[in-house]
Structure 1
Amino acid sequence: MKRAIIFLILITFLIASIGCSYEDINRVIFVITIIIDVDEHEMVHVYLELFHAYRSNKENSEMGQRIIMKETGSTIGEALDKVNKSSSQKLVYSQNKVILFTEKAVKHGIDDFLDFLIRDQEMILRPYVAVVLDDPVTFLQTDIKQNEFIGLFLFDIFDRPLSFLVPAHQQFFQEINRREMGRNVTFMTAIKLNTEIFHPKITKASYAILENDKLAFFIEDREILMGMTFILDTVNQGRINIPHPNYEDKLAFVLILNSKTATSIEYDGNKIYLKKKISVKGTLDDAQGGLVLDKATVPKIEEFTKEEIKRSCLKAFNKFKDEGIDVFEIREVFNRVYPTIDIDNPLEQTELMVEVDVFIEGSSGLTDFNSQNIKYPTF
């Protein structure tokens, strides 16, 4: 019953979004997910997750089915041509939700794939892009309880506002724009299956950093990812762990409500100074051992939060500077401000200067996190 309802909703959505009739929709197959892989012989493998609507004479109603197709070619274009030739109906890409590259593909380089996807008239720019760390067949055959279509499930995950301090998930048009800036440094969310639980689920494992459309390295360090988020000004919401103001062996947790990062750059003829002014509004979310907000405690929380944000930004910047990867688009910013000055590698000469302002507000008036007595702020 649940599966029938899902298919009915999907059919209704597809008809509404492309403006065709039931008769028309039965003559096409919708692409929901594209996975691109490369083998050791540099042959390209394309996997498609498809939705096919059809009229059931037995049920006398519109039905739908999930189909997985795979083809191989010397190029992505050849592989997709083979898929089209083996399909009984026309493949439509207007509802594609995600484009996934395998780890082998990003290590090989995805420049040819991106160029094809940009040129192809049927491809759209809205899908999210990510790296999948699992075997494509195993990944597509996994039974995800929350949604039968993996592409729709991933779209829901990527499209909702982030609740963690990690870089924003990239859509295809954002990937295209970033690769045209500076030294062509981009990043993608890396996902993998987690089967060590009651039922399999897809988790965000790390972030893949690409230079010139080829994998440079993966980042799992949460502090570096948090620093990237503040520097790139993509913070939505998330928690920061800070030392407890009253107990050395305990932690407090600040929820970031919103953040804004202003960027400027200065050059003194010797060094480049990348300046980031970060303004943060947060609230105390939790505390080990309880905590009462008062005039003495709030400044400590704000100062600890500033220190954590600044430390994460410097750690992230130094990581990429050491690797020689210009993920923060320093060349692009420098060229806009100093168009007549030509520096071969601005990143090498750049120092990061971070200024952080933090305002901690009350949480619904409740300031005692270890008592049933509600205490109201006196500051």
Structure 2
Amino acid sequence: MKIKKIFIILILIISSFSMVSCFNYNDINRVTFVTGIIFDEDKNSNVVLYLDCVKAYRNANESADKGKRILYKGEGKTALEAIKDVNRVSSFNLNFSQNRAYIFTGNAVNSGIKKYIDLINNDPEFPITPNIFVYHGDINHLLDMSKSDEEYLGLFLDNLIEKNKHTPKVIQSNTSDYMAKRLMENNLAIMTSIDLKDDVFDKKIQLNGGTVMQDDRMVGKIDNLNALSYNLLINNVRTGSLEIVNEETENDFITLNILKTNTSTSITSNDDKFILKKKINLKTNIAESQSKLLINSELLDKLKRLEEESIKLHTKQVFEEYKERNIDILEVLNLLNKKYGYEEEPDYLSKVELEVDVDLQIDGTGRVKNTL
């Protein structure tokens, strides 16, 4: 028994001397870490790359880490050539392993992003865990804001998504999800849209719905108003709120706080039609009323009926809007393929009918029962 313990201790001692970390202080001081990448294209379809970087500095004699923010621009016929263009003006090696966000401009998604996705997929230094975004505004405005902001763009977007990933009006997508969905039967995936919002003193980045991509090109957008309906349909709502017009005052709203949701999906075949069924269950309570409200069973039944009909209407509208454009945002083809081994036909979406069943539970108010 003692010999076994001595052997284990010797192994641990030998292992400790053989361990080498990824970076030591000297290594870090010679590297520029990329925290965010923006892919853009000019009028001649040349790649324009923007890298939001930190030049780190660490000292073994100091407890604090130091770093300098640097914004690089590279151009070339390909993304790799654009990176080499940046290397010609950077005195330190570029390291992409700490990147936190891939951002594509409107020019890039309209032209097609397959070449960029292939680069990310094939180069082991490019991580596939970061979130993926589309910015539809003027790139100069985003860059101006990035230069004046103290936060690194990639780290800021990473934190913003993490905080809001289950918010009903936010559509979240990371690179790994996108790569998987683009290879499925309908080659369709949705990326997070961002834009700039006028704030009190300056502009701020905000999450603004999603960009629908098919065959690596943009085919549509889902705005904030439709993002809630879309997220309910794909079972991606955990928290949030619903607003109902108070019929007694007509101008005031009653707010329901979402406590729990669940959406189940099934598909069946009926003659020459496919019935896509979505069962949406929501548990809520009354969080706010803009006018005095006496809460009783009659009121709760009325609110339940109104909001259930509203959710049915808006979810069907979102599906029908894209169905008319032959865009399968609910991945019906994948469901048909799994259940029936269905082979795609050009007009298969025209045979799909969406049935939405909503069960809304309202528990009354949170703190003071039956008064608000």
TM-score range, shorter chain: 0.7 to 0.9
Which residue in 1 is equivalent to 2:239? 237
Residues 2-24 of structure 1 show CA distances to partners (whole Å, capped at 9, x for unaligned) of xxxxxxxxxxxxxxxx8533222
Aligned match for 1:321, one of 318, 323, 326:
323
Give the Cα–Cα distance (whole angstroms) in 2 for the partners of residues 221 and 31 of structure 1: 30
* 2:262–2:282 Cα contact (<8 Å) kept: yes
**TM-score, with length taken from structure 2:** 0.87
Which residue in 2 is equivalent to 1:357? 359
In structure 1, give the amino acid aligned to 2:236. Answer: T
Aligned pairs (5 A) from 1:73-222: 73-142=76-145, 147-162=150-165, 164-195=167-198, 197-220=200-223, 222=225
In structure 1, give the amino acid aligned to 2:227. Answer: L
Q: Which ranges in structure 2 are unaligned for 5 or more consecutive residues?
A: 1-20
Which residue in 2 is equivalent to 1:12? none
Which residue in 1 is equivalent to 2:341? 339
**TM-aligned CA deviation for residue 195 of structure 1:** 4.0
Give the Cα–Cα distance (whole angstroms) in 1 for the partners of residues 117 and 213 of structure 2: 13
Give the Cα–Cα distance (whole angstroms) in 1 for the partners of residues 194 and 207 of structure 2: 4
Q: Partner of 1:296: helix, strand, or coil?
A: helix
* 1:290–1:368 Cα contact (<8 Å) kept: no
Larger radius of gyration: 2
In structure 1, give the amino acid aligned to 2:256. Answer: V
Between the aligned residues of both structures, percent identity stands at 29
Higher mean C-alpha deviation, range 29-38 or range 145-154: 145-154
Residues 128, 26 of structure 1: alpha-carbon distance in 2 compared, 3 angstrom cutoff: same
Give the Cα–Cα distance (whole angstroms) in 2 for the partners of residues 289 and 142 of structure 1: 40
Residues 364, 205 of structure 1: alpha-carbon distance in 2 compared, 3 angstrom cutoff: closer
Q: Partner of 1:316: helix, strand, or coil?
A: helix
Aligned match for 1:348, one of 338, 344, 350:
350
Which residue in 2 is equivalent to 1:254? 256
Is residue 280 from structure 1 mapped to residue 285 from structure 2 by the alignment? Answer: no
**TM-aligned CA deviation for residue 196 of structure 1:** 5.5
**TM-aligned CA deviation for residue 87 of structure 1:** 2.4
* 1:187–1:209 Cα contact (<8 Å) kept: yes
**TM-aligned CA deviation for residue 149 of structure 1:** 1.1
Residues 23, 369 of structure 1: alpha-carbon distance in 2 compared, 3 angstrom cutoff: farther
**TM-aligned CA deviation for residue 67 of structure 1:** 0.5
Residues 304-354 of structure 1 show CA distances to partners (whole Å, capped at 9, x for unaligned) of 221121111111111111121111100000111111565443211100001
Residues 208, 21 of structure 1: alpha-carbon distance in 2 compared, 3 angstrom cutoff: same
Q: Partner of 1:86: helix, strand, or coil?
A: coil
**TM-score, with length taken from structure 1:** 0.85
Residues 272-318 of structure 1 show CA distances to partners (whole Å, capped at 9, x for unaligned) of 10000111111111112122222222222222221121111111111
Q: Which ranges in structure 1 are unaligned for 5 or more consecutive residues?
A: 1-17, 371-379
Q: Partner of 1:300: helix, strand, or coil?
A: helix
In structure 2, give the amino acid aligned to 1:75. Answer: T
Q: Partner of 2:164: helix, strand, or coil?
A: coil
Moved over 6 A (4+): none
**TM-aligned CA deviation for residue 369 of structure 1:** 5.2
Q: Partner of 1:142: helix, strand, or coil?
A: helix
RMSD: 2.4
Q: Partner of 1:351: helix, strand, or coil?
A: strand
Give the Cα–Cα distance (whole angstroms) in 2 for the partners of residues 340 and 218 of structure 1: 28
Give the Cα–Cα distance (whole angstroms) in 2 for the partners of residues 62 and 342 of structure 1: 55
Is residue 308 from structure 1 mapped to residue 318 from structure 2 by the alignment? Answer: no
Higher mean C-alpha deviation, range 238-247 or range 225-234: 238-247
Aligned match for 1:264, one of 263, 266, 269:
266
How many residues align structurally? 351
Give the Cα–Cα distance (whole angstroms) in 1 for the partners of residues 307 and 148 of structure 2: 38
Give the Cα–Cα distance (whole angstroms) in 1 for the partners of residues 267 and 27 of structure 2: 55
Give the Cα–Cα distance (whole angstroms) in 1 for the partners of residues 143 and 173 of structure 2: 21
Which residue in 2 is equivalent to 1:330? 332
Give the Cα–Cα distance (whole angstroms) in 2 for the partners of residues 186 and 310 of structure 1: 24
